[in-house]
Amino acid sequence: MSLSYCTCTTDTQGRELAEHGSALFPIACYEENIPENAVPFEAVPWHWHEEWEAILVKKGTAIVSAEFEKYTLKEGQGIFVNSGVLHEVHMEKGLCCHTRSIVFHPRLVGGTIDSILWQKYLQPLLQNTLLKSVCLDGFSPWHKDALRAIEDAWESVTAEFEGYEFFARNALSCLVLLLKKHCTSFQSSLSEGRLRNTERIKIMLQFIHRHYAEELTTSLIAKSAMISESECLRCFHAAIGTTPIQYVRQFRIQKAAELLCLSQKKAGDIGAECGFEDSSYFTKIFREIKGCTPGEYRKQNAHAIQTK
C-alpha cells in the first residue's frame, strides 16, 4: 500500500469521498511534513467519515478540532477520532509540523457486526455518544501504549513487509482494546441540544460544500437547516468557533489553494471558480488567510505538490 498525502474531497453532506485502502484491506496511511516558515498545502477542512482515524504528531504542533473540542497537539502526542465525527486539522502558521495519520474501517479489527469482537469491543466505542475523540497527550499511563500501537500500525502498512496486514491489524486491535478499556466507562448520552447542534452543523456544512462557488449569506445557510440566523450563528460559534461567512471564505480559499497547486489555471479564473468574482478581493482575502498572494502560494508549493 503506497503512502498518501492528506487531501480531502467531500460529498454534499461533508462526508469524505476518498476510499481509504480497499474493500479487502480498509486502511490507509497519510503523512504531512511541513517545514518551518513554509506556506502549507493547507489543513484538512471540516469533514467526517465512517472510518476511525488516529493521528500522530511527529514534530512541531498540530491543531485538531473534533466537533465541540479543540486540541493543540505537540510532538509525541496524538488523537483518536470516532466514526461519524466532524473534524479538521491545521498547523500553526510559520511553524514546522510533521504528522502521520491512519484511517481505517472498524471491520478491519472487528470483522462483521455479528462477531464477538464487534459486539464486545467495537460496538461500545461506536455507540458511545460521548466518545467523539480521545486526546492522547501522554498524561494517562495507557496513552504511551496507544501511541505505540498507532505507530506500529502505520509503520507496518507503509513498509509492506511479508505479513504486514497481520501486524497492522494486531496493533490496531491493541489500540481498540485500550480505548474500550479506558474510554467507555461513561455511558450517559450527550444532551439533546448538543446532538441537535451537531446534526445542524452537518447539514449547513453540506450546503456550503455544495454551493460555496455561489453567492451565500447567513440567511441562506440558516434556511438549509431550517433555523433562524441567530441560531445559525450560535451553532457555528459553538461547534467551529467562527461565523458562517468566515467559514465560507476559509473554505473557498482552501479550494482555491488546491486548484493553484493542482492546475495551470490563471489565479483570477480560480478565484472566480471558487466564488470570488472580483480578482483583487480574491487576492486580498487569500493574503489574509495564507499570508501570501495566490501567485506566491503556487510558486512556493510547486515542488512539494509535484512530489506527491
Q: What are phi and psi of 95, to 5 degrees?
A: -110, 145
H helical segments located in 34-122: 107-110, 116-117
Dist. CA 286–CA 270, nearest whole Å: 12
Dist. CA 281–CA 285, nearest whole Å: 6
H helical segments located in 240-308: 244-262, 267-273, 279-290, 294-306
pLDDT for 266: 94
H helical segments located in 36-142: 107-110, 116-117, 123-126
Task: For 22-32, write each residue's pLDDT tens digit.
Answer: 889 999 999 98
| CB-CB neighbours of 113 under 10 Å | 12
Q: Which three cell numbers stand for residue 239?
A: 461547534
| CB-CB neighbours of 237 under 10 Å | 12
pLDDT for 40: 47
248: Cβ contacts below 8 Å, ≥ 6 apart: 208, 212, 216, 221, 275
3-state helix, strand, coil in the chain (%, to 5): 45, 20, 35
Dist. CA 266–CA 185, nearest whole Å: 55
Q: What is the pTM of this model?
A: 0.73
Task: For 71-112, write each residue's pLDDT tens digit.
Answer: 999 999 999 999 989 898 887 766 778 999 999 999 999 998
Report the share of the chain in percent with pLDDT over 90.
57
**Chain-wide mean pLDDT for the chain?**
86
pLDDT over threshold 50, residue 61: yes
| CB-CB neighbours of 269 under 10 Å | 12
pLDDT over threshold 60, residue 15: no
Task: For 253-282, write each residue's pLDDT tens digit.
Answer: 989 998 998 888 999 999 999 999 999 999
pLDDT for 38: 54
Task: For 99-151, write each residue's pLDDT tens digit.
Answer: 999 999 999 999 988 899 999 999 999 988 788 999 999 889 999 999 999 99
- When pLDDT is averaged across residues 282-301 and rounded to a whole number, the result is 89
pLDDT for 27: 96
- Element (H or E) spanning 159, and its range? helix 143-159
Task: For 220-245, write each residue's pLDDT tens digit.
Answer: 999 999 999 999 999 888 888 789 99
